[in-house]
């Protein structure tokens, strides 16, 4: 395939960015989207030009670092798929593809398609952890947990923190991410020691990072590569009420 790419280029966080147009040829339909970018960057390097900066690590849909808009959609057109798992068979010879970084004040652009998502790390540091004793790991069957709660906790823990929820939300809210991190601990007994303050601390950090508020539009769930449910936001709201009224049951 021969394709035209319109890619956002930005030297650094303070520089003014703009789109640049590139032509790529002989792209296999079996390549991943990032492999196609590898081909383009090799071409640019051979021409003595600066390659396009983009984040990647596992390339297996696990780490969430390959965060970018593809033709206006976070992670591209495939449902429940990260950019690294998007393949070029989605496109046809002659197509034009527009690629941009996340657009959110809380995710400032570092360079080209790379954004600073450390705000998510600070939200986790504010309360997304549990108290544990040192020593050998406790046997997995030592604490009985209802299957439904275990399943719901596992589903929430599937969040990879890529930021697609923020990118999809017109308010740039990070509540889907935040609620997944609150939920997977709130559903398990191991999360009880910090339960009465976890949600309040994490929401306070979320707001201080400049993320917008949640208005239950649902774009976050629709674009999440791991299909994180909006039900987690409902659960987080209950946890929050329990946090601010610490004597109450949630």
What pLDDT, on the 0 to 100 scale, is given for residue 146?
Answer: 93
User: What would the pLDDT profile of 148-168 be if each residue is shown by its tens digit?
Assistant: 999 999 999 999 999 999 999
pLDDT in tens, 96-135: 999 999 999 999 999 999 999 999 999 999 999 998 777 7
* Average pLDDT over every residue of 32-43: 97
Question: Edge-to-edge strand order for the sheet containing 3-9?
Answer: 18-24, 3-9, 96-100, 69-70, 73-74
* Structure confidence at residue 143 (pLDDT): 84
Higher per-residue confidence, 250 vs 229: 229
Q: In whole numbers, what is the pLDDT of the chain averaged over residues?
A: 94
Task: Tell me how far apart the alpha carbons of residues 95 and 101 are, in angstroms, rounded to a whole number.
Answer: 20
Give the total residue count for the chain: 250
Q: What's the average model confidence in pLDDT over 132-152?
A: 84
pLDDT at residue 248, rounded to an integer: 43
For residues 168 and 92, give the distance between their C-alpha atoms in angstroms, rounded to a whole number.
Answer: 25
Joined together, the tokens standing for residue 226 give: 């791991």
Q: Whole-model pTM?
A: 0.92
Which residues in 101-233 belong to E strands, given as ranges?
109-111, 114-115
- The per-residue pLDDT for 131 is 84
What is the CATH number that goes with domain 118-244?
A: 1.10.1060.10
Instruction: Give residue 136's pLDDT band: very low, low, confident or very high (50, 70, 90).
Output: confident
pLDDT value for 243: 83
Dihedrals φ, ψ of 5, to 5°? -115, 130
Mean pLDDT of 218-244: 95
Q: Report domain extents, the chain.
A: 3-111, 118-244
3-class state of residue 128 by DSSP: coil
Sort 201 into a burial class: Cβ within 10 Å, 0-12 / 13-18 / 19+.
Answer: middle
Superfamily of domain 3-111: Beta-grasp domain (3.10.20.30)
Side-chain-facing half-sphere of 120: CA atoms under 13 Å:
26
Estimate the crossing angle of helix 231-244 against helix 175-186, to 10 degrees: 70
50-91 confidence digits (pLDDT tens): 999 999 999 999 999 999 999 999 999 999 999 999 999 999
Return the pLDDT at 250: 43
pLDDT for residue 198 = 94
């Amino acid at each position: 395939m021969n394709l035209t790419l319109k890619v956002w280029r930005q030297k650094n966080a303070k520089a003014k960015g703009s789109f640049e147009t590139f032509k790529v040829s002989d792209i296999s339909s079996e390549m991943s989207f990032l492999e196609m970018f590898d081909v383009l960057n090799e071409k640019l390097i051979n021409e003595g030009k600066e390659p396009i900066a983009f984040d990647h690590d596992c390339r297996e849909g696990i780490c969430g670092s390959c965060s970018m808009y593809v033709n206006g959609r976070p992670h591209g057109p495939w449902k429940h798929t990260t950019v690294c798992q998007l393949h070029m068979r989605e496109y046809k010879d002659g197509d034009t593809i527009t690629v941009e970084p996340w657009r959110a004040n809380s995710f400032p652009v570092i360079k080209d398609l790379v954004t600073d998502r450390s705000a998510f790390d600070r939200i986790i540091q504010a309360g997304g952890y549990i108290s544990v004793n040192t020593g050998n790991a406790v046997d997995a069957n030592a604490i009985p947990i209802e299957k439904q709660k275990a399943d719901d906790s596992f589903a929430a823990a599937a969040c990879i923190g890529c930021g697609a929820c923020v990118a999809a939300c017109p308010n740039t809210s990070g509540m889907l991410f935040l609620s997944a991190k609150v939920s997977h601990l709130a559903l398990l007994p191991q999360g009880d020691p910090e339960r009465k303050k976890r949600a309040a601390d994490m929401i306070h950090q979320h707001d201080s990072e400049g993320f917008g508020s949640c208005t239950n539009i649902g774009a976050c769930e629709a674009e999440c590569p791991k299909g994180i449910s909006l039900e987690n936001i409902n659960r987080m709201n209950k946890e929050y009420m329990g946090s601010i009224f610490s004597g109450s049951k949630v």
